[in-house]
A and B are shown apart, each in its own frame.
Chain A
């Protein structure tokens, strides 16, 4: 059942990583020689800085992947580019903060404050559950209604832009303009060779990898997952085969919301705080990752996210940090010029 499809996807992913690795090695050696030539104070620091940034890029790429996989699944099954997906990321982190913080919290327009102060792990689980429920509500109240009335894709996309604005403003109203921290404890960094990293980050990476493997397992090895891929391929035929397309899409929305929330929580831990518009800022990177990997291809979102993350972080070795997302988008343009269907996207045989 696994067979050719998997092997091909894996081969392609490995090829992409090899190319990236070679590119980085080349960059590393030229960077090192430049250091040697100038004899600057940072001499020898070039390669370790590069490795550190490469590592940061992988971390960021994994977190980005959590958010983008859902975006990609939604696009695959409904053809909707969901502009409100960034807020799903913020929402996950904010709701967790709301549940876990020892400080008094409130809702907009509610005249009193209260404390929930849940322990952190249960707060994360409840937060993700609420996000999943929010995904269900969104599809139930908005997207399935629009689909049933055959509202066009561009119109739906504009609805999602409106929803995005509404949500980001709601979150700001709710949580205020300043970033919030999910935990107050400081995560001490350990030095592993040239890389310094905190335990929380390592655990976050592990959770992200497990979640992504879980998604792959679901899509490849479960009947429901294969039906999801079938809906993604051809919704009309899936329906003609007796698959309840709307239920599959509902599940996809719930999964996407849950993964985005998990991504948001881990991001908030990684960057030690999350602002009301952090998810919104991430949206462009998510679109870039999904497009780079191959639109609608779930593993494409993973590969695309890792490349975007690595390129963005590694570019800061040479370029101003303000330019890191611009560099990542520049890579997107280059890749699409060479491979219009994205890295894992397939040009289908016609006839």
Chain B
């Protein structure tokens, strides 16, 4: 993996929702093509803020983000989508009054000509959704919505997928499904950066994990190493057992 080029490079980010109050105080992260990265950390560490800052949803006051060498700091969402970044928010991540198919169409909004082709490709990943394509997304369960949300973000065939706590609010079985599916998506060549509360499961499937603490990236190591790291165990995992 180490021979692959860097695709996302966040350097010393300082960002926050309000001017003068920064939540990220110098976050640095380097992600290589095809990696599956998990970001863990305690509540309020700035995990979601970091992901939103990458996607231009939280203003970055200092530091830079590059995508395959191009500066994308504070870039507008539609520009990022065009450049191959997909984002799945934690909550409110579907259009409830639109049907599943319309949700996916909105995912491919910037590339309407590729819609049919992408629908087939994404449909293969989520066959359940294709069977119910004319159902309104607002009538779906949390797990089904999560699928629609991921599928929507994949419709532009992104190079990088940002997932904000994809397992939040799901039952353990659905959580497992979500993690496995994330891994599956990653195997198709998509670089995935995910923020997770469920640190243990997340680290089990990740190539590499980042631990965030008080708005800074404290340290990084492979998922397996972090799982065995005594400090991580003490702070975030609780016990050594699986």
User: In the docked arrangement, what's the CA distance between A182 and B77, Å?
Assistant: 48
Can you list, as one digit per residue, whether each of B95-123 has a CB less than 8 Å from chain A (1) or not (0)? 11111011001110110100000000000
Cβ of A240: which chain B residues have Cβ within 8 Å of it? Answer: 55, 57, 77, 81, 87, 89
A243 pairs with B109, CB closer than 8 A: yes
Bound CA span A58–B110, Å: 41
Q: Which secondary structure dominates chain A's binding surface?
A: helix
* Segment from A198-206, A227-235, A262-270, A334-342 that makes contact with B: A227-235
Q: Is the CB of B81 within 8 A of A241?
A: yes
Residues of A within 8 A of B189 (CB): none
Specify which of B81, B89, B95, B142 is in contact with A242 (CB 8 Å cutoff).
B81
Chain A residue with minimal CB distance to B136?
A5
Does A148 belong to the interface (CB within 8 Å)? Answer: no
A3 to B137, CA, bound (A): 13
Q: Are B95's CB and A237's CB within 8 A?
A: yes
Interface residues of A in 226-285 (CB under 8 A from B): 226-227, 229-230, 232-234, 236-244
Residues of chain A with a CB closer than 8 A to B106's CB: 226-227, 230, 238, 241, 243
Size of the chain B interface, CB-CB below 8 angstroms:
35
Q: With a CB–CB cut-off of 8 A, which chain B residues contact A237? A: 89, 92-95
A348 within 8 A of B: yes
B224 within 8 A of A: no
Determine the distance from Cα of A250 to Cα of B163 in the docked complex, in whole angstroms.
31
B134 contact from A4, A230, A349, Cβ within 8 A: A4
Residue of A nearest to B156 (CB): A242
A223 CB-CB contact with B under 8 Å? yes
Contact B89 A349, beta carbon cutoff 8 Å: no
The answer to whether B138 and A348 have CB atoms under 8 Å apart is: yes
In the assembled complex, the CB of A148 is this many whole angstroms from the nearest CB of chain B, namely 12
Interface string of A1-37 (1 = CB under 8 A from B): 1011100000000000000000000000000000000
Select from chain A the residue with minimum beta-carbon distance to B143.
A351
- Do A234 and B134 contact each other (CB < 8 Å), given the known contacts A5-B99, A226-B98, A227-B106? no
Query: How distant is the Cα of A349 from the Cα of B143 in the complex, in angstroms?
Result: 13
B209 to A: closest C-beta gap in Å: 25
Check A348 against B112 for contact (C-beta < 8 Å).
no
Interface presence of A115 (CB below 8 A): no
In the complex, how many angstroms separate the beta carbon of A320 from the nearest chain B beta carbon?
41
> Are A229 and B95 also in contact (CB < 8 A) when A4-B134, A242-B156 are?
yes
**A4 cross-chain contacts in B, Cβ below 8 A:** 99, 134-136
- Are the CB atoms of A230 and B77 closer together than 8 Å? no
Q: Are B107 and A241 in contact (CB-based, < 8 A)?
A: yes
Chain B residues lying within 8 Å of A348, measured Cβ to Cβ, are 96, 138
Contact A242 B105 (CB under 8 A): no
Residues of A within 8 A of B228 (CB): none
| Contact, CB under 8 Å: B81 / A351 | no
List chain A residues, Cβ under 8 A from B156: 242
Chain B residues 42 to 86 lying within 8 A of chain A, measured CB to CB, are 55, 57, 77-78, 81-82
Task: For residue B63, give the distance in angstroms from its CB to the closest CB of chain A.
Answer: 22
Nearest residue, chain B, Cβ from A3: B134
Q: How far is the CB of A211 from chain B (nearest CB, A)?
A: 22
B139 located at the interface, meaning its Cβ lies under 8 Å from any Cβ of chain A in the complex:
yes
Bound Cα distance from A236 to B89, whole angstroms: 9
Could you tell me the distance in whole angstroms from the C-beta of A294 to the nearest C-beta in chain B? 11
Interface residues in A187-232 by Cβ distance below 8 A to B read: 223, 226-227, 229-230, 232
Query: Please, which residues of chain B bring their CB within 8 A of the CB of A239?
Result: 77-78
Q: When the two chains form the complex, which single residue of A3, A230, A238, A242 contacts B82, counting CB atoms closer than 8 Å? A: A242
Q: Does B5 contact A (CB under 8 A)?
A: no
B230 on interface, CB distance cutoff 8 Å? no
Task: Known A240-B55, A241-B152; judge A351-B107 contact (CB<8 A).
Answer: no
* A140 cross-chain contacts in B, Cβ below 8 A: none
- In chain A, positions 320-351 with a C-beta closer than 8 Å to chain B are 346, 348-349, 351
Smallest distance from the beta carbon of B149 to chain A beta carbons, Å? 8
A-chain residues with CB within 8 Å of residue B102 when the two chains form the complex: 1, 226, 229-230
Chain B: which residue is nearest A7 at the CB level? B134
Name 10 interchain pairs, CB-CB below 8 A, sorted by A.
A1-B99, A234-B92, A234-B95, A237-B89, A237-B94, A237-B95, A242-B82, A349-B138, A349-B140, A351-B169
| B residues lining the A interface (CB < 8 Å) | 55, 57, 77-78, 81-82, 87, 89, 92-99, 101-102, 105-107, 109-110, 112, 134-136, 138-142, 152, 156, 169
Using a CB–CB cutoff of 8 Å, the interface residues on chain A facing chain B are 1, 3-5, 223, 226-227, 229-230, 232-234, 236-244, 346, 348-349, 351
